Amino acid sequence: MDDDATRAANAKKGSPFLSTKQAAHYISLSPRTLERMRRTGEGPRYRKHGRYVRYHIAELDAWSDSRAKTRTVDA
């Protein structure tokens, strides 16, 4: 996992785009969960660069922020 964290940190310094594996690590989900969410439209926005799926760090942050809750029970 340290390698993934290092790769994500390096990607954030350079390119703002992360692979599915890097993005999943960045938001603390498994790559399979992120893939499922992509199929169902529940996950963060992504881009297709040719055949590759890429997630922009700003989109991951925005998606995470949109899921913030202030209490455990919804009204």
Domain ranges of the chain: 2-64
Give the Cα separation of 75 and 54 in Å (integer). 35
pLDDT single digits (tens) 5-56:
777 777 667 788 999 999 999 999 999 999 999 999 999 999 999 999 999 9
47-49: strand order across its sheet: 17-18, 52-56, 47-49
Q: At 56, phi and psi to the nearest 5?
A: -85, 135
pLDDT given for residue 17 in this prediction: 92
pTM above threshold 0.85: no
Sequence-distant (6+) residues with CB within 8 A of 46 are: 23, 38, 53, 54, 55, 59
Sequence letter at residue 70: T
Q: For residues 34 and 23, what is the distance between their CA atoms, to the nearest angstrom?
A: 8
